[in-house]
Amino acid sequence: MRKFFWLLLAAGLAVACKFPNDLDYPLVKGEFTSFSVEGQESVTINNETRRIDIILQEDADISRLKVAYTLSEGASVSLDEYLDLREPISVTVRTYQDYVWTISASQTVERYIRCDNQVGEARFNLDTKTAIVYVTDSQPLVSIRITEMKLEPEGSAVKSTTGYIANGMNVDVVTVPCVFPMVLDCVMERTFTVLYKGREVLWHFKALQTETAVEVVSVDARSYSARIRATFSGSGSPVLQYRLADETLWQDVTDITVAGVGISGRLSGLEAGRDYVVRAVNGEEISEEFSFRTEADTQLYNSSFDEWTKEGNGWYPYSGSGERIWDSANKGTASLGVVPTRPEETDVMLGKAVRMESSTAFGQFAAGNIYLGQFGQVSGLGAILNWGVPFTSRPVALKGYYKYLPKTVDKAKDPHKDELGRTDQCSIRIWLTDWTSQFTVNTSKNIFLEDNDPSIIAQGSLYSDRTDTAYVPFEITLEYRDDRIPTYIEIACAASRYGDYFTGGLGSVLLIDEFELVYE
């Protein structure tokens, strides 16, 4: 009997010890709801990938960044007041579960050295703090005229330079203050002392001669134009010439600028999607030929919005046999009989148009919209949308026609509650990006494409709260950030500008028609 008692007690203890571990803890996601550091240009929080990507201003101290942040309810994290983000760091946000986040920062510092008869840009080695400048072989190293120099972030100053100066049979070490432009003996390596945030930074400097045969360095070709860069020795009268690759007759580039050893030219009136050849000529010296191809002047399928398909209760801007690059949020609401986006057949510019009306679905405000991509699924009280279609051309503008009939904003949520009582606004927006795949919008989690996203190459927007009695022509100029070639394009239109935040006026109507991409 005594043995049996102890067996029962042991079994009871085993069950009691096991029972708490079988409890299911609630799933509470650990997320950053805001994040900022001193000296930031932009911060992107991605709750899907659990990443925070920071772009810093030039003068920010990346090794000591004061941080401020907020977390989702019930979450905690151990994070120092100052962060060293010279390398990405990982932090763990804890709720009932652990969520590992990556925080990284990037910082671009503009460095340059400019001097007479320079060939190409200066080269910088950040590890050894060494700068090298190449000059033409006709430029004496004993008298290099440096016109500008910037070696450290914004706010720094080149204080002085030290060099070895021949003095008869001796070599003197001479330090002089820097006031540009200034002529320096650069036969031997020099050092420059830069003052930055109260500390001195020492840079080593070398000037090297190089042969400067006439050469085409680069061509940035668009659909109907191209910008050409070339170099030459600095003496003579250089010209740029071009021809179609399958022709033999060379033509001079008439829009050309020569400065120092650089040649720049602009070609216009080219044909889209054609192969060309360009060369630089300086007297009897002729460069190697540089081949390039102009970009295609690509237009998007069904940009006239004449093709539509009805599936169930919903209307969709594509034909049954055609491409499906345009979509709307109708798939999330059509089962309830709510179809905010549909074809317009009477009030049009030509053929058919798109009619978008802001309404309600599932008790939530739903702005009529159309975008490039595909509807994903309903997510909570919002939706997941897969934005973007592959695209590699570089248009300069989007043009078309729109007509807007706004209502007063009577539905609003944070962060746009202050819109209540105001006149609603429509939006037409375009982006070119270098995404590797479609961008996932999640309206229930406030995951949107932000204006400071580093993947954006160019963007343009139109907003209006004006009541239109007829169609209005528009042309949205794309503002380019750099010369990257895009991989995706996104165009999104909505009857309520803040519809993604469930804010707008019930009954606001936007009509659009005859979209066209403009090229130069």
Same domain, 405 and 490: yes
The domain tally of the chain equals 4
DSSP designation for 340: -
> What is the per-residue pLDDT for 136?
81
Decide if 50 contacts 101 (C-beta within 8 A). Answer: yes
Decide if 111 contacts 150 (C-beta within 8 A). Answer: yes
Using the 3D structure, point to which of 107, 131, 155 is the last residue of a domain: 107
pLDDT digits (tens, 9 = 90+) for 110-162: 999 999 888 878 999 988 999 999 988 778 999 999 999 999 998 899 999 99
In a domain, 301, yes or no: no
In a domain, 223, yes or no: yes
Secondary structure (DSSP) of 202-259: EEEEEEEEE----EEEEEEE-SSEEEEEEE--SSS--EEEEEETT----EE-SEEEEE
Please give the Cα distance from 126 to 297 (Å, whole number).
41
Structure tokens at 25: 């803890």
In a domain, 102, yes or no: yes
Give me the domain span that covers residue 85: 32-107
Please give the Cα distance from 418 to 35 (Å, whole number).
23
Using the 3D structure, point to which of 210, 227, 255 is the last residue of a domain: 210
Which parts of the chain register pLDDT below 70? 1-26, 334-337, 380-381
> What is the per-residue pLDDT for 107?
85
> What is the per-residue pLDDT for 5?
40
In a domain, 325, yes or no: yes
Same domain, 315 and 370: yes
Let me know the angle formed at the C-alpha of 420 by 419 and 421, rounded to the nearest 5 degrees. 110
- For 435-499, the three-class secondary structure string (H helix, E strand, C coil) is CCCCEEEEHHHCECCCCCCCCEEEEEEEEECCCCCCCEEEEEECEECCCCCCCEEEEEEECCCCH
- Dihedral sign for Cα 245, 248, 254, 259, please: positive
Residue 82 is part of a domain; what is its CATH number? 2.60.40.2340
> What is the per-residue pLDDT for 21?
46
> What is the per-residue pLDDT for 17?
45
Same domain, 84 and 175: no
In a domain, 9, yes or no: no
Same domain, 36 and 125: no
Structure tokens at 184: 């320096």
Residue 431 is part of a domain; what is its CATH number? 2.60.120.890
First-to-last CA distance in the chain? 98
Please give the Cα distance from 338 to 460 (Å, whole number).
30
Residue (of 367, 398, 374) closest to 388 by Cα position: 374
| pTM recorded for the entire structure | 0.66
Instruction: Give the distance, in angstroms, between the CA of residue 435 and the centroid of all CA atoms in the same chain.
Output: 9
Using the 3D structure, point to which of 165, 185, 210 is the last residue of a domain: 210
Same domain, 382 and 364: yes
Residue 241 is part of a domain; what is its CATH number? 2.60.40.10
Same domain, 369 and 460: yes
In a domain, 5, yes or no: no
> What is the per-residue pLDDT for 20?
46
In a domain, 4, yes or no: no
Evaluate the omega torsion of the peptide bond into residue 181 and state whether it is cis, within 30 degrees of 0: yes
